[in-house]
Amino acid sequence: MKIHEYQAIQLFKNAGMPTPGGEVVSELAQGLTVANRLGYPVVLKSQVLVGGRGKAGGIKVVKNEIEFKEHFVRIRALKIKGYSVEKIFIVPAIEIKKEFYAAVAIDNIKGDVVLIASAEGGVEIEETAKTNPQAIKKYYMNGQKTIDPTRWPEFIGSVFPDASDQKAATDILQKLITVFFTQDCSLAEINPLVKDAKGNWFAADAKVNFDDNAAFRHPDLEVLRDISYEDSDETEAKNLSLSFVKMDGNVGCIVNGAGLAMATMDTIKLLGGEPANFLDVGGSSNPAKVLNALKIILRNKNVKSILINIFGGITRCDDIANGILQARKELNIQVPMAVRLIGTNEKEAKEILKTVNIVSHPTMRSAVEEAVRLAKKSVG
């Protein structure tokens, strides 16, 4: 789960990290009150869960009320990568002396948590990683949740050569690591980490992603979810333990397993069709999952044919077949279907399908070919 900058900043503030303060608002009148209290200049920061908001004009320093009004209205009307700006975070402008980068993340290959820091902070950090990788320093946690005092001095010295900066930086980085572990993040990033002209430090921008697999340990974080970023069908699917992503085509598909689901979509495309969705029913599927999956797919009026491609492992084909039967009883399905069930309990499944005259295709290719043909026939 991704959260907004203002929420991440609040999380950092709660952990005792220095932040510039500020407030998030939706309306101009509220915004003006906040700006007057903070005192100009202030920064208007659009709150969107996609990158590139700076380049899209979603961040602006304003010096007075006239500029504030102009840019608040402009930013509020922006669409950044298709998402409208519903909230603006108003923060005091900081007189930046030096910008750093800091993040705690997972290094998948090493199977470890890594703290990444650089004295070259700011929006060009990825470019720096490519052109000047020596400027990016990494500190591996070695499976520990706190820093190792024997290895730390060398690392902190490599990013913050100025001894007077090291104490403040260590304090902030230690807290960032703590937030990462206590909240089960998959990313906790400060960019930039700022030192101002007076020598004060601030986490001036924050990005936090949570590990969805650890959500059961953090029911309290659920309130931070911004559902406006989630397609309502996708959210509903998720609540039903289905993984669903809507696409533009007309062949609806129900598949088990993400890899096979992607390969099925690729095959549809390679054989001249267009997939209407990605849908993974997951493992251990019970018949109700198929019924729910069909309900969601049939809501999409672009869908002209449905392809059910199941290779049973932990998923049992007879469960899927019973789900198809149940769906045919409960839903008025007008869209033609191509079915292929193979693997665990495939014989039982074929017997079940025989009762409603559905014949399972022997291969993925033949099932996809039929689904594509049915979709084209329906379009005419």
Partner 1 sequence: MSILINENTKLLVQGITGRDGSFHAQKMKEYGTNVVGGVTPGKGGQEVAGIPVFNSVAEAKAKTGANTAVIYVPAKFAKDAMLEDIAAGIELIICITEGVPVTDMVEVSRELRKTKIRLIGPNCPGLISPGKSKVGIMPGHIHKAGPIGVVSRSGTLTYEVVDNLTRAGIGQSTCVGLGGDPIIGTRFIDVLELFEKDPDTKGIVMVGEIGGEDEQLAAKYIKQHIKKPMVGFIAGKTAPEGKRMGHAGAIISGGDTTAKAKVQALTDAGVHVVDFTDEIPSFFKNLL
CB of 19 to partner 1, least distance (A): 18
CB of 239 to partner 1, least distance (A): 15
Reading phi first (left if > 0) and then psi (alpha if -120 to 50, else beta), residue 215 is in: alpha
What gap in Å lies between CA 210 and CA 116, rounded to an integer? 18
Nearer to partner 1, 57 or 283 (CB): 283
- Cβ–Cβ under 8 Å, residues 280 and 256: yes
In three-state form (DSSP H/G/I as H, E/B as E, the rest C), the secondary structure along 215-250 is HHHCHHHHHHCCHHHCCHHHHHHHHCCCEEEECCCC
* Run of H or E including 188: strand 185-196
CB of 66 to partner 1, least distance (A): 33
CB of 110 to partner 1, least distance (A): 8
Residues with Cβ within 8 Å of 357's Cβ and at least 6 positions away in sequence, in order, are none
Nearer to partner 1, 31 or 257 (CB): 257
What gap in Å lies between CA 282 and CA 314, rounded to an integer? 9
- Cβ–Cβ under 8 Å, residues 284 and 313: no
Nearer to partner 1, 15 or 129 (CB): 129
Q: Which residues of 324-348 are buried (b: 16+ CB within 10 A; e: fewer)?
A: bbebeeeeeeebebbbbbbbbbbeb
CB of 107 to partner 1, least distance (A): 5
| 346 classed as catalytic | no
What gap in Å lies between CA 318 and CA 320, rounded to an integer? 5
Nearer to partner 1, 39 or 133 (CB): 133
Nearer to partner 1, 231 or 330 (CB): 231
Q: Which of 5, 99, 139, 189 is catalytic?
A: 189
Q: Which of 101, 139, 346, 369 is catalytic?
A: 101
DSSP 2: B
Nearer to partner 1, 34 or 375 (CB): 375
Q: Is 317 helix (H, G, I), strand (E, B) or coil?
A: helix
* Run of H or E including 338: strand 337-343
Nearer to partner 1, 165 or 369 (CB): 369
Among candidate residues 60, 30, 18, the one with its CA nearest the CA of residue 195? 18
Structure tokens at 329: 């009883």
SS3 helix, strand, coil % of the chain, rounded to 5? Answer: 40, 25, 35
| 101 classed as catalytic | yes
- Cβ–Cβ under 8 Å, residues 226 and 4: yes
CB of 314 to partner 1, least distance (A): 4
- Specify the length of the chain in residues: 380
CB of 108 to partner 1, least distance (A): 4
Structure tokens at 290: 């198929």
What gap in Å lies between CA 132 and CA 235, rounded to an integer? 41
Catalytic machinery residues? 101, 189
